[in-house]
Amino acid sequence: MSGKKATLTIDGQSIDLPVSSGTMGPDVIDVKDVLAKGYFTYDPGFMATAACESKITFIDGDKGILLHRGYPIDQLAEKSDYLETCYLLLNGELPTADQKAAFVHKISQHTMVHEQLTFFYRGFRRDAHPMAIMCGVVGALSAFYHDNLDINNPEHRQIAAIRLIAKIPTIAAMSYKYSAGQPFVYPDNKLGYAANFLKMMFAVPAEEYVVNPVLARAMDRIFILHADHEQNASTSTVRLTGSTGANPYACIAAGIAALWGPAHGGANEAVLKMLDEIGSVENLDKFLAKAKDKNDPFKLMGFGHRVYKNFDPRAKVMKQTCDEVLAALGINDPQLELAMRLEEAARNDPYFVERKLYPNVDFYSGIILKAIGIPTSMFTVIFALARTVGWISHWLEMHSGPYKIGRPRQLYTGPTQRDLVPLDKR
């Protein structure tokens, strides 16, 4: 509480509303007292609503700043790795060498899934979208852990977090293998987190698979860049689901479902489809016109952001990684050239400049994922894999103190009360 207050005057009556300050970012006006005066606040899309207090991630959209527990995303991407970032998000501090070793070992002890879980995959058609499989299989995990689903038990909450972070790469790789008609590959605990995922994705029994360290490092960095992002739509879904007391596996499955939308985590897959549709530089003007046409549903996928009105700091690191990976692999991807020309054209177009629409995390990620060999249908699965730590960190944070069930109200504009006319008289 800052001691500051805001005064709202309606129909001659004043309501004093307390104002709270965080360590960074805008002050917040606590509006719950308007209810006692017979009012709701109204904020569709939560454009100006702080739904909770959190210490995990801070975003300054105007300055293009993203901090995880105070550390800038570019420093984490450059100087740490994904499991270190997971430890930081979960615990609030970067691990010491001993703490990291213990955490990595703990994760490695939970990378396998129950053998019965493999039967869930067989219920899907081989051409099922892997995100559909992820929603189903992750939600089903709760059926395997009846002995520790007491969300009021801190130890149960912690083991659920470890299990989800450890198993989500295995489940994700299995969703790809199933669609490819290839046998599932068990985790190899001798490998690092990202390398293990690549082996589970691409190894086949018929030959030895050696992980390319350049691709493993790029994959790990992509995981870091997608790990958490404050109260985005899927994280808010996890918190809202968690506020009902639902088990953590159900909450993460809800987050996966929310992430799937093309306006959110589905954008990386949509960017590649958009670049395919644009086809060549000659068509850029036509598609930019479509993106600006209010009567045309087409949007520039990978552009714009609810919070960032500046460059998404993750997009900068993603573009650097893109250049490194393509150079290391000797790939000259025409889609990268097209993406760069599209970015340049949009950055010089008043429509995009006035609306502060910049490339976001999804704009370049698909090009790297394609270079690594990840099929387009798996792009959002990669996002969900990496974001699992963010979702579960917010779920843990919510359960670490008092919380209330989330239950928004509405502005009702439907019919006023009326009496029913019996069918034979209508």
Q: Which is nearer to ligand SDX, 307 or 329 (CB)?
A: 307
Q: What's the closest the beta carbon of residue 312 comes to ligand SDX, in angstroms?
A: 7
64 binds ligand SDX, rule: CB under 6 A: no
Given 362, 371, 382, 386, the residue binding ligand SDX (CB under 6 A): 362
User: Largest Cα–Cα distance of the chain, in whole Å?
Assistant: 79
Q: What's the closest the beta carbon of residue 220 comes to ligand SDX, in angstroms?
A: 17
Given 300, 371, 372, 392, the residue binding ligand SDX (CB under 6 A): 300
Q: What's the closest the beta carbon of residue 270 comes to ligand SDX, in angstroms?
A: 7
Pick out residues in 217-256 that bind ligand SDX (CB under 6 A): 229, 232
Q: What's the closest the beta carbon of residue 269 comes to ligand SDX, in angstroms?
A: 11
174 binds ligand SDX, rule: CB under 6 A: no
Binding part of the chain for ligand SDX, among 8-16, 273-281, 298-306, 403-411 by CB under 6 A, reads 298-306
Q: Which is nearer to ligand SDX, 49 or 189 (CB)?
A: 49
Give the whole-angstrom CA distance, residue 311 versus residue 2. 31
Give the whole-angstrom CA distance, residue 241 versus residue 235. 10
Torsion, CA 412, CA 417, CA 422, CA 424, rounded to 10? -70
Please give the structure tokens belonging to residue 326: 């393509």
Angstrom distances, CA of residue 319 to CA of 107, 225, 229, 386: 30, 12, 19, 18
Give the whole-angstrom CA distance, residue 252 versus residue 348. 40
163 binds ligand SDX, rule: CB under 6 A: no
Given 246, 257, 274, 301, the residue binding ligand SDX (CB under 6 A): 301
Residue with structure tokens 């990976």?
A: 325
Q: Which is nearer to ligand SDX, 137 or 267 (CB)?
A: 267
Question: Residue 369, exposed/middle/buried by CB under 10 A (0-12, 13-18, 19+)?
Answer: buried
Catalytic-residue membership of 305: yes
Q: What's the closest the beta carbon of residue 379 comes to ligand SDX, in angstroms?
A: 12
Given 76, 216, 291, 374, the residue binding ligand SDX (CB under 6 A): 291
303 binds ligand SDX, rule: CB under 6 A: yes
Q: Which is nearer to ligand SDX, 44 or 414 (CB)?
A: 44
Residue with structure tokens 């790795």?
A: 81
Residue with the shortest CB distance to ligand SDX: 304
Angstrom distances, CA of residue 191 to CA of 71, 103, 419: 27, 15, 68
Given 355, 373, 400, 408, the residue binding ligand SDX (CB under 6 A): 355
Give the whole-angstrom CA distance, residue 258 versus residue 236. 9
Q: What's the closest the beta carbon of residue 305 comes to ligand SDX, in angstroms?
A: 5
Q: Which of 74, 264, 333, 349 is catalytic?
A: 264
Given 64, 248, 302, 313, the residue binding ligand SDX (CB under 6 A): 302
131 binds ligand SDX, rule: CB under 6 A: no
Give the whole-angstrom CA distance, residue 95 versus residue 268. 31
Q: Which is nearer to ligand SDX, 76 or 300 (CB)?
A: 300
267 binds ligand SDX, rule: CB under 6 A: yes
263 binds ligand SDX, rule: CB under 6 A: yes
264 binds ligand SDX, rule: CB under 6 A: yes
342 binds ligand SDX, rule: CB under 6 A: no
Give the whole-angstrom CA distance, residue 335 versus residue 412. 47
Instruction: Count residues near ligand SDX (CB under 6 A).
Output: 20
Q: Which is nearer to ligand SDX, 139 or 302 (CB)?
A: 302
- Which positions touch ligand SDX (CB under 6 A)? 229, 232, 263-264, 267, 291, 299-307, 355, 357, 360-362
| Catalytic residue set | 264, 305, 362
